[in-house]
Amino acid sequence: MSQLTQQIHSSEIGDILENSLNGIRPKKEDYLRLLKSDDVYLMGLVAGNITRKKFGKKVSFVNNIILNYTNVCITDCKFCAFYRPPNHEEAYTLTLDEIEARVKTGWDMFKIRQVLIQGGHNPKLGIEYYEDSFKMIRSKFPNVGVHGLSTSEIDMIATVEKSSTKEILSRLKDAGLQSVPGAGAEILTDSVKEIISPKKIDSDDWIRIMKESFELGLPASATMMYGHVETDNDIVEHYDKIAKLQKDLNGFMAFIPWSFEPNNTLMQKEGTVTTGAGGIQLLKMIAISRIIFDGLIDHIQSSWLTNGVGMAQLALQYGSDDFGGTLIGEEVVSCTGARSTELTDKRIIESIKQIGYSAEERDNFYETVSMR
């Protein structure tokens, strides 16, 4: 009997982990047992084993810029340090020429393969602003994928245009949108959303807009922001909703659990959340995510942005297979003052190779660009 098998047999979650090693996904009632367990190292061994079976010791990343096109927002999320109300002295919205200049710099300097486009809920921006931006990027930089707009931004555009979100998505796709980020999910239970983002779309709307995206042929990533006011039961609901949607429509390319950073946010000022969740919790969420989504969602991202490079390296051994992006130009998390929020591909490749893995540069759709 191997040492891993012995450890599994003596663990209170041993039956779940043994099933996972045999390709049997946990049931919803198992999710809570995983979350309540402190056996993080053992979960990591199992999740790492599952990941290496699928990917070997290969880790992907994407050369990208993040285009925070406006910080004007009327949604006032308590977890956000980035937004500014309309007419604030620090409010901005990029022009089409400024967007082109940023993408051109990203392509010329870094040969980016993706531009991640996210901003605020700006009531002054109609759909033509986004259509013009996407058309310009796709025509002038054909190797750069357009990965853009959270479900709540799409809902905002629909409100401004007095249109349906499906019509907005269809027009944006025609203009060059290729995939949708998972932002805006946070935790997919409305009792949590009512506390942290009461003006944002609810859980059902997030799922509905994702469904519409998938039906139009726009794939997406799914995210979970943990480490604030959510309970373990809320996280169970989040996982379950993502899993059900994936079983139905198979549109998620990746799952990204990321840790809430409270610095400079209203939640910190109010004393609701004063410190981040920390490294052990990150490794636990990565491992559980791999175990829950094995056979459903291929890629689990290691999320260096809020946890740093060292934790991302560990996460690669706890079930993640993707390092994420270089995120040149990131402005949202950097507003918390947490840490440097951009990396070069050289730094990512070094970080991957330091732990004995090989690096693969990918594109927007997780297709290989080159082995590095």
Give the DSSP letter string of 188-220: S-HHHHHHH-TTS--HHHHHHHHHHHHHTT--E
pLDDT band for position 246 (50/70/90)?
very high
> What's residue 150's pLDDT?
92
| Range 234-250 average pLDDT | 98
Sheet holding 64-67: strands in order across? 64-67, 114-117, 145-148
Annotated binding residues for (3R)-3-methyl-D-ornithine, written as ranges, equal: 150, 303
Looking up residue 65, the CATH number of its domain turns out to be 3.20.20.70
Residues 212 and 171: beta-carbon distance below 8 Å: no
pLDDT level of residue 336 (50, 70, 90 thresholds)? very low
Give the pLDDT band of residue 337 (cuts 50, 70, 90): very low
CB-CB contact of 164 with 132 (8 Å) = no
Q: pLDDT (tens digit, 9 = 90+) per residue, 144-176? A: 999 999 999 999 999 999 999 999 999 999 999
Strand partners, 70: 93
Among 177-191, 225-239, 333-347, whose mean pLDDT is lowest? 333-347
Confidence label for 258 from pLDDT (cuts 50, 70 and 90): confident
**Which residue ranges are tagged as binding site for S-adenosyl-L-methionine?**
79, 186
Domain that holds residue 209: 3-371
Give percent of the chain above pLDDT 70.
88
What residues are designated binding site for [4Fe-4S] cluster? 73, 77, 80
- H-helix or E-strand spanning residue 249: helix 232-249
Model pLDDT, residue 339: 45
pLDDT at 197: 82
Cβ contact 148:177 at 8 Å:
yes
pLDDT (tens digit, 9 = 90+) per residue, 307-317?
788 888 999 99
Average of per-residue pLDDT across 330-357? 71
Is there a contact between 93 and 72 (Cβ–Cβ < 8 Å)?
Answer: yes
Q: Which residues does residue 220 pair with via DSSP β-bridges, in sequence order? A: 180, 252
277 pLDDT tier (thresholds 50, 70, 90): low
- From the CB of residue 88, how many other CB atoms can be counted at a distance below 10 Å? 12
Cα–Cα distance measured from residue 163 to residue 287, given in angstroms and rounded to the nearest whole number = 40
Number of domains present in the structure of the chain: 1
Q: Is 326 helix (H, G, I), strand (E, B) or coil?
A: coil
Closest by Cα among 144, 153, 146, 213 to 183: 153
Collapsed DSSP state (helix, strand, coil) of residue 19: helix
In DSSP terms, 7 is beta-bridged to none
**Annotated binding residues:** 73, 77, 79-80, 150, 186, 303
Residue-wise pLDDT for 292-304, tens only, equals 999 999 999 987 7
**Burial category of 157 from C-beta neighbours within 10 Å (exposed 0-12, middle 13-18, buried 19 and up):** buried
Cβ partners under 8 Å of residue 73, min gap 6: 80, 83, 84, 85, 119, 120, 121, 122
| pLDDT at site 329 | 67
